[in-house]
A and B are shown apart, each in its own frame.
Chain A
Amino acid sequence: MKKILSILFLATVFVAGASAQQLEKLFDKYMEDERFNYVYQKKASMMDRLNDAGNVDVWVFDKSTTSLGRQMLTLNSADKSLDESFTREVENALKADKYEQVSIVRNGKNRVETYEKNTDKGIAKVSFIKNPGNIMVTLNVYAPRK
């Protein structure tokens, strides 16, 4: 009985650990794919983030926290089926990683979704931008607030 319980516990831990990194796995999967562009920055400085964010409200770009790195994956493709399958993959990864949807902005055919979750490292924020023929996913990790 003890053995079965141990195996079940280990399996649960493994499944939880595996699903916690689905989005990062997606970045790894497509970073070297010729249909995609991939950008990773180890640690965005405060100046970089202020320059990038401009005057947008704090709830969109929280400037009070320290960046632990950010990465971006973009797909520029006229192939509609590729667009759809990649979108599905991102949505499934976000669901598997238990991200909480923070906002959706839809303007015509353009759509911007933001997601957030607390991780061991800190707060992970995802922006998922979908335009016809152009899909962009960014993942920003910030240190937990003190």
Chain B
Amino acid sequence: MNNIDNILNNYFEGKTLPEEESRLKEYFRSSTVLPQHEIYKPLFIAFDKEKQIAAPVFEIPAEKNRKKPFPIWKLWIAAASIAAVTLLVVTLFPHKNKVGIPSGDYLVFINGNEVTNPQKAQQYADKMFMQADEIIRTSYKPIVEANVIQTEMDADRIFDDLSQKINYIESVKQ
């Protein structure tokens, strides 16, 4: 089980191999999860349900006509321009990782271990905030229901509705 701890530590640091991640998912799906690992179970079950997003495949069209070789001095100018633009982009815009999550947007510590993988940190953060909101929502439900009842049983509104009905009946009679 020491091995599971090591894989878990690597997992939260984003260093695990796909086989190790599969092993973790298998372990958390099994009935042999140790009590000290129970806390991570919902996390892995949730991740397990997620669909893998595959990057679209781009097909490069085959070159029809062979062009003349590009002059070397033009190549140098092109390379210098690309380098300048890259430098400008890197300087002007904040760093974003491959999934588009700015690296400082989420900070997650699970039992003292920092989740350094931004994508996993985001997933965990979203899940935790959702759970907290769910607890609050459940606890406030009776008050929300009481408010609805109070609105429905409002005496002024009931009398208004009744007087409108009486007026309508009287107008029909005449």
Q: Do A and B truly interact? A: yes
The size of the chain A interface, using a CB distance under 8 A, is: 37
Measured CB to CB, the residues of B under 8 A from A are 39, 102, 104-114, 124-126, 128-130, 132-133, 135-137, 139-140, 143-144, 147
Q: Is A48 an interface residue (CB 8 A)?
A: yes
A52 in contact with B144 (CB, 8 Å): no
Contact status B129-A37, CB under 8 Å: no
> Which chain B positions have C-beta within 8 A of A60?
136-137, 140
| CB proximity of B101 to chain A, nearest CB, Å | 10
A42 touches B104 (CB 8 A): yes
Contact of A38 with B107 in the complex, beta carbons under 8 Å: yes
A52 touches B133 (CB 8 A): yes
Q: Is there contact, CB below 8 Å, between B39 and A76?
A: yes
Q: With A56-B144, A60-B136 as given contacts, are A35 and B111 in contact (CB-CB < 8 Å)?
A: yes
Contact with B along A22-46 (1 / 0, CB 8 A): 0000000001111111111111100
Asked if residues B136 and A34 are in contact (CB atoms below 8 Å), the reply is no
Is A20 on the interface with B (CB-CB < 8 A)? Answer: no
Contact partners of A74 in chain B: CB under 8 A? 128
In the bound complex, do residue A53 and residue B139 qualify as a contact, i.e. CB atoms below 8 Å apart? no
Q: Which residues of A contact B130 (CB under 8 A)?
A: 51-52
Taking CB atoms, residues of chain A closer than 8 Å to B132 are 72, 127, 129, 136, 138
Nearest-CB distance from B105 to chain A (Å)? 4
Q: Chain B residues near A37 (CB, 8 Å)? A: 108-111, 128
Contacts of B102 in A (CB 8 A): 42
Which applies to chain B's interface (DSSP): helix, strand, loop or mixed? helix
Distance, CA A138 to CA B129, complexed state (A): 9
Subset of 22 A-B contacts with CB under 8 Å: A32-B109, A33-B112, A37-B109, A37-B110, A39-B109, A39-B124, A40-B125, A41-B105, A42-B106, A51-B130, A52-B130, A54-B137, A57-B140, A57-B144, A60-B136, A61-B133, A72-B128, A105-B143, A107-B139, A129-B132, A129-B135, A136-B132
Chain A residue contacts of B128, Cβ below 8 A: 37, 39, 72, 74
A112 in the interface (beta carbon within 8 A): yes
Closest residue on chain A to residue B131 by CB atoms: A136
B133–A53 CB distance below 8 A: yes
CA distance A53 to B136 in the complex (A): 9
CB atoms of A112 and B124 under 8 A apart: no
Q: Which residues from A are CB-within-8-Å of B106?
A: 39-42
Chain B residue numbers with a CB within 8 Å of A38 are 107-109
Query: Which residues of the other chain, A, contact B104 by a CB distance below 8 angstroms?
Result: 42
Please, how many angstroms separate the alpha-carbon atoms of A114 and B143 in the complex? 14
**Cβ contact within 8 Å between B140 and A41:** no
Residues A48 and B126 in contact in the complex (CB < 8 Å), given A53-B133, A57-B147, A60-B136: yes
Q: Name the residue of chain B whose CB is nearest to the CB of A56.
A: B137
Chain A, Cβ-Cβ closest to B144: A57
Closest to B128 in A: A39
**Which chain B residues border A12 with CB–CB below 8 Å?**
none
Would you give the shortest CB distance from B25 to chain A, in whole angstroms? 21
Considering the complex, which residues of chain A in the window 103-146 have a beta carbon less than 8 Å from any beta carbon of chain B? Answer: 103, 105, 107, 110, 112, 114, 127, 129, 136, 138
